[in-house]
Amino acid sequence: MSAAAKIKLLVVDDSAVARTMITDSLASDPQIEVVGTAVDPYMARDKILALNPDVMTLDIEMPRMDGITFLKLIMRHRPMPVVVLSSSTTEGSAKAMEALRSGAVEVAEKPEGPFSSADAVGLAKKIKAAAEARLHTSAGPRPGSRDGDNRANLDTPAPVQPLANPRALIVIGASTGGTEAVQRILSEMPGDLPPICVVQHIPAQFSSAFANRLNGLCQMAVREARSGDELTPGLALIAPGGKHLLVRWNGSHYVALLNEGPLVHHQRPAVDVLFDSVVKAGGASSCTAALLTGMGRDGADGLLHLRENGAHTIAQGEASCVVFGMPREAIRIGAAAEVLDLRLIAAELTAQGRRLSAAAVG
């Protein structure tokens, strides 16, 4: 798509009110053109053939055929970037996670009332990120997911041992496409590593479901972070949507802190906030960090600060990124000691984590 071309958007929702709100909320954005709307997947199929949209927004709950089933069919027969709109209920959050596993590149909360200006800006950003996405064209779970046999190829979990170096830490940042990338990495890592902190750009309503999903797939314990959590070996904390995640050193171990400070790179949680907190806590030299797929530049400066202070830093390579934005910026400014394909990152984080945890302190 040329820089001047507008993103052609198809809006699929059975609610006339929702279709109108989405269309009206995007009307003032010069980069997006709503070329059509559809009330159900059958009409959407015809509109896709007639209009050849660049991106589709898709409601999960629809008559005649649910959004997840339609999404899987789209990814099998006519792959295209899809932004799923879901309610913030427990059931809606679970379905949103299923949509991401089934090929959607972004998920957004469906407002209960009229779109606010913040809703409109957030949705527009997700549509623009989706327009830049590289797609996985196979139906079903994306490469590297472990649905059904998530532990079949993993080593038997080793018992978690006290670290020789209690400052050892692994930090990961990701955005568009990151839910599947983070899942792949964490599910391939053993449970005896230093504490792990993850910032994934995700709406607040869905981060808990994301953490719970990972907890069922991984050898380490995974949960949404809470202020005051002690970072312990064998534990991965996921930043809650809408809150920055930071770490602090209390003299014997790290603790997690959450705040609702200003947006950084239009994000909260922001990867830069986590990465910079590790530097401020004096933990960079005992840290390994990875910056994964995502639009924009969040995390690039933080990764550079980590590297300048002794951390081992990794950026995901372009070929395996859904959106090569954040890693590209990190590579451009010299923040990445290594640039690795997604399939290699888990092994490298594991090796670095074990090296750091075994290092003598002092």
Residue 63: its pLDDT value, please?
A: 82
Options 13, 86, 201, 320, the catalytic residue: 201
The yes-or-no answer on residue 40 being catalytic is no
Report the pLDDT value the prediction gives residue 151, as an integer from 0 to 100.
37
Lowest mean pLDDT, pick from 104-113, 239-248, 315-324:
104-113
Query: What pairs with residue 83 in β-bridges?
Result: 57, 106
Cβ burial, residue 282 (10 Å; 0-12/13-18/19+): exposed
Query: Would you state the pLDDT for residue 142?
Result: 44
In this predicted structure, the answer to whether residue 147 has a pLDDT above a threshold of 50 is: no
- What number does CATH give the domain 7-131? 3.40.50.2300
| Amino acid 145: pLDDT | 40
pLDDT tens per residue, range 249-263 = 999 999 999 999 999
Check whether 114 has a pLDDT greater than 90: no
As a whole number, mean pLDDT of residues 211-233 equals: 97
Task: Please say if the pLDDT value at position 161 is more than 60.
Answer: no
The segment with the largest mean pLDDT, out of 133-142, 161-170, 224-233, is 224-233
Q: Could you give the dihedral angle defined by the CA atoms of residues 205, 211, 216 and 217, in that order, rounded to the nearest 10 degrees? A: 120
Rounded alpha-carbon distances, angstroms, from residue 211 to 199, 253, 320, 324:
11, 23, 23, 24
Predicted structure pTM score: 0.89
d(CA 156, CA 154): 6
Whether the pLDDT of residue 361 is over 90: the answer is no
Among residues 8, 101, 4, 102, the alpha carbon closest in space to that of 47 is found at 8
Pick the catalytic residue from 87, 175, 277, 286.
Answer: 175
CA distances from 10 to 44, 45, 84, 177, 238 (A): 8, 11, 12, 21, 32
Domains 7-131 and 169-358 share a fold: yes
- pLDDT score, position 156: 40
Asked if pLDDT for residue 40 goes beyond 90, the answer is yes
Active site annotation includes 175? yes
Mean pLDDT of 281-288: 98
Domain boundaries, the chain: 7-131, 169-358
Pairing state of beta strands 338-340 and 312-316? parallel
Q: What is the mean pLDDT of residues 34-50?
A: 96
* Range 214-237 average pLDDT: 97
Q: What's the whole-number mean pLDDT along residues 225-247?
A: 97
What dotted CATH number matches 169-358?
A: 3.40.50.180
What confidence category does residue 138 fall into, taking pLDDT thresholds of 50, 70 and 90? very low
Which residue among the candidates 298, 301, 312, 357 is catalytic per the annotation?
A: 298
2 confidence band (pLDDT: 50, 70, 90) = low
Which among 177, 49, 51, 43 has a CA at the least distance from the CA of 103?
A: 177
Mean pLDDT score of the chain: 90
